[in-house]
Structure formats: C-alpha cells, structure tokens
Structure 1
Amino acid sequence: MMTVPLVLRDKKALVVGVANSDSIAYGCAKAFHAAGAEIALTYVNEKTRGFVAPLAEELEADIFRLLDVGAAGQLEATFDEIKQRWGRLDILVHSIAFAPKEDLQGGLLNCSAEGFGKAMDVSCHSFIRMAKLAAPLMSEGGTMFAMTYLGANCVVPNYNVMGPVKAALEASCRYLAYELGPIGIRVHAISPGPLKTRASGGLKDFDTLLNEAAHRAPVGELVDIMDVGYACTYLATPFARRITGGTVYVDGGAHIVV
C-alpha cells in the first residue's frame, strides 16, 4: 500500500458494506484509516461478522456493529451510537447491493415486482435513508459516497435488474447533492470497474466481464479496491471541495472505450 498523507486526520468515517477483505468498502475504510480518519464499520449478519471482525481490529475501528438495512430500527440505532460516541460524522460510504438470485439471473423481463422492490430498497433507497440520518451529524460539512457500476448507464449483459436500480442510485446521488450542497455536504456516485467481490459472484459469466474490461481499459489493467479507496479519500478532502453530484469512474478508463 502506498504512503498516504494524513489528509483525513481526526475525520470520522462510517463505512457500510464490508463483507470481507475483497470488499470495495474495505478498500475505502483502509484508505481512510491510512489518511488519519477514525473508522466505524458495520456487518450485515453473524456469518459475515467472522470475516469483518479482524478487519475492524486491523483498522482500529472505534465503532463495530450489526447493520441490516432491512431490519427495523438497526439503521437508526447505528446513527444514534455515532452521535453518542462521536457527536458528528464527516464521511459516509454506502457499498451495499442486493437482489434475489432468481430475479438477478432471470433477466429484467422475468424480474418479479417483489424482487425489483427488494433490490431497489436495499441497493438504492437505503442510501437515501442513511443520508437523512447522516446529514444532521455533518453540521460542519461532509462527504457521502454510493457505489454504482457502468451497467447503470449502458447495457452490460447479465447485469439485469441491477442496471435500472443503479441508475436510480446515481440519480439519487444527484438529487441529494442538490439538496445537501447548501449545508456543505457533497455526494458522489463512485463507479469502479469490475472487481472480484462477494457480490459479483452472483453475476453470470463475470470472469468474461473482467477479461473484457482489462482488455478495454486504456491503462491496460483492472483496478483494485485500494484504487477505489484512494479516489474516495481524495474526494473527501478539501482538495475536492467544489466537486459534487457526478458519477466518478474508477475503472482505468474502460468506460470511454466501446
């Protein structure tokens, strides 16, 4: 890992979505920590806890707690603890997505209304709910991140229902940036290139997607989770104080090549 200047010294960062050491969210948390930020991590269930607990210890996470955005009260309890322990929040990372397997792999035409609604709630609306709870804690300004993908803007075969859902997430980032900008909060949709994560394992022919992205990228190689973390670290600093509302691609330039 490169040497990172302490540009986030004393900042407080909540990172939601770490499942294991391959997670994009872990790359963000690791980069923030290296830059001097204090970290809060969440895990989605007890099975995941075993993978995330060592990472929380490594990052000296001041807050480490269960958070399933679909469980009543857990989101509110998380922000209550942040308020009690820290009194404020500077950085929020939303890196969670879910669709039932049968709805994800069956094509958009065959996606059930229930599956579409579940995907939208977990992958998009939960970010809006988090933003509403985080904003009062960002009284001195802050930065919010949501993870998206190229399939939000063009058809990526086998991405299916997640394409429309991520498109909604990107639109939500723009509207939240507009609403929160006057109080000093910036909002970014981050679009990494394809990465081997637990979530990507649910996509059909994902290895083919990886190979095509590496071939297409002008830099000639795939990105990794730390590339995403470093980009978010920069965007969370005053160096990016006039950047908000856009979709930031961290993909080696692959999105510019047809």
Structure 2
Amino acid sequence: MLSQNELLKGKKGLIVGIANRHSIGAGCAAAFRVSGADLCITYQNDKARKFVEPVANEVGAEMFLPLDVTDHDQTEAVFAEIEKTWGKLDFLLHSIAFCPKDDLHGRVVDCSQKGFALAMDVSVHSLIRLANKAEPLMKDGGTILTVSYHGAERVVDHYNIMGPVKAALEATTRYLSVELGHKNIRVNALSPGPLQTRAASGIDHFDTLIDDAKARAPLHRLTTIDEVGAMAACLVTDFARSVSGNTAYIDGGHHVV
C-alpha cells in the first residue's frame, strides 16, 4: 500500500491505456494520485468504459474521456479538453500495446505485414502521436512514460513479434528524449517483469514466463502494479529530474539473469 504524500501536488497528468483495476496503468494512476497529482484518464471504447470507470472514480480523476489512439479526432479532442481545463500538462503515461492474436502467437518469421503494421502503430507510433500533442502543453517541462518489457532486449520464448515491437518502442523513447530534452521534457520507459494483467494473458504460455520470473529473479517473486506505480511516480518527481532516455526495470532483478 502506497503512503499519501505531496510529491506531485499541483501536477497534471494524462493516463492512456488502463484496461481495468489490475492493469499497470491502474497501479500508476493510484501512485500518481496518492502523490497529489490531478489526473485525466481515458478509456478505449464503450465496452472498455465499465472496466476503467471504477479506476477513474477511485483516483478521483478530474477528466474521464474516450480515446482510441487510432482515432485522430478523439486524440485531438482529449488534448483540447486538457488545454481548456488545465491549460497545461505535466506528465503523460502511455501504457498501450496490441498485436493480432494470430501474429502474436506465431513465429516472427511468419508475422503478416498487416499484423506487424498494426502492432507497430498501436504500440509505438501512438506514443509519437501523443508526445506530439503533449509537447506544446508541457510549457514548463514534463515527463513522458511508456511501458516496455525485457523481451525488447533479449529473446523471450513465446513473446514473439512483440519483442521487436517493444525494441522499437524503447528506441523511440531514446529519440524522443533527445528531441524534447531542450524543453526539459524527460522521456523514459518502464520495464516491469511478468504481471498477471489482461494484456499479458494474450501471450501464449504466459504461465511459463511467470514461473521463470519467480524461479530466476534475484528477489524470487513477481512485481506488483503498485511497485510499477511507485517507480512511475518517482520518475515524474523532481527526484528524477536528470533521468531521461532510460529504461527503468521493475522486475526483481530478472533482467540481469
């Protein structure tokens, strides 16, 4: 359980990609809120709304808006509402990944062109689009966070095409950090270990990844969404004011073994 503090008091943040209260985005939202931040939370569509709205209510989100990141008009509308309501944005969390099931469960060499393009668009280029819209609102600097996984660096059994996709996401993080750094906008990636989330459940043989993490990670346990949230909140605070272009591991040390 996170303790109440005011490290982010007065900060305004947008969270994109919460699936339900068990998702990484939800853990981050809770950490941001207990640190005093005001939040705007989005949901993908009407079907998703019933799962995301309880999270928005729990953290007292000031704005709760629809956002399918493939919809240009919805993206424009979200940032227009943020500008109208707050006049600024201090941080953005991008917690989105998608790949069609057939491509996700198949070999990389068999991945379809359409499936690869869709996975890259939703998982990677959406970060670029959101960063583009966030930049002019981060007038006094800010922080942009995204969510990766160790499979971006090493071949992980059954992670398949999402490995190259996450590698592209981490490279994008580094390039954005350089391009936006002169405006004091920091860009970092969070890299949790395997977590029991809805998104992770789509990975074939996911239980094997869970067992491997427990057995081989130095701490011999799984990371929690609260722990990921704590790292996310820290990266938004001034304690991390010199941290940019970084991939922060929150995986019990699993990435070193």
TM-score interval, smaller chain? over 0.9
Task: Spell out structure 1 runs of 4+ moving beyond 6 A.
Answer: none
- Please, which runs of 5 or more residues in structure 1 have no aligned partner? none
Amino acid of the structure 2 residue aligned with 1:66: P
- Among the aligned pairs, what percent are the same residue? 53
Q: Distance in 2 between matches of 1:244 and 1:162?
A: 23
| TM-score calculated relative to the size of structure 2 | 0.98
- Please, which runs of 5 or more residues in structure 2 have no aligned partner? none
Matched positions, count? 257
| Counterpart check, 1:88 vs 2:83 | no
| Counterpart check, 1:21 vs 2:18 | no
Show the counterpart of 1:32.
32
Amino acid of the structure 1 residue aligned with 2:40: A
What's the offset of the Cα at 1:217?
A: 1.2
Amino acid of the structure 1 residue aligned with 2:97: A
| DSSP 3-state at the match of 1:7 | coil
What's the offset of the Cα at 1:42?
A: 0.5
Show the counterpart of 1:201.
201
Q: Distance in 2 between matches of 1:72 and 1:160?
A: 29
Show the counterpart of 1:109.
109
Show the counterpart of 1:230.
230
Q: Distance in 1 between matches of 2:158 and 2:138?
A: 38
| Kept after mapping to 1: 8 A contact 2:2/2:34 | no
What's the offset of the Cα at 1:111?
A: 0.8
Q: Distance in 1 between matches of 2:234 and 2:81?
A: 27
Q: Distance in 2 between matches of 1:21 and 1:32?
A: 14
Post-superposition CA distance 1:172-219 (Å, at most 9, x none):
000000011111000001100000111111111101101110111111
Show the counterpart of 1:156.
156
| DSSP 3-state at the match of 1:190 | strand
Two-structure CA RMSD over aligned residues (Å): 0.8
Q: Distance in 2 between matches of 1:2 and 1:175?
A: 32
Show the counterpart of 1:140.
140
Q: Distance in 2 between matches of 1:72 and 1:187?
A: 23
Amino acid of the structure 1 residue aligned with 2:252: G
Q: Distance in 2 between matches of 1:250 and 1:161?
A: 22
Q: Distance in 2 between matches of 1:179 and 1:71?
A: 25
| Counterpart check, 1:55 vs 2:58 | no
Show the counterpart of 2:246.
246
| TM-score calculated relative to the size of structure 1 | 0.98
| DSSP 3-state at the match of 1:120 | helix
What's the offset of the Cα at 1:4?
A: 3.6
| DSSP 3-state at the match of 1:88 | coil
| Kept after mapping to 1: 8 A contact 2:21/2:54 | no
Amino acid of the structure 2 residue aligned with 1:222: L
| DSSP 3-state at the match of 2:52 | helix
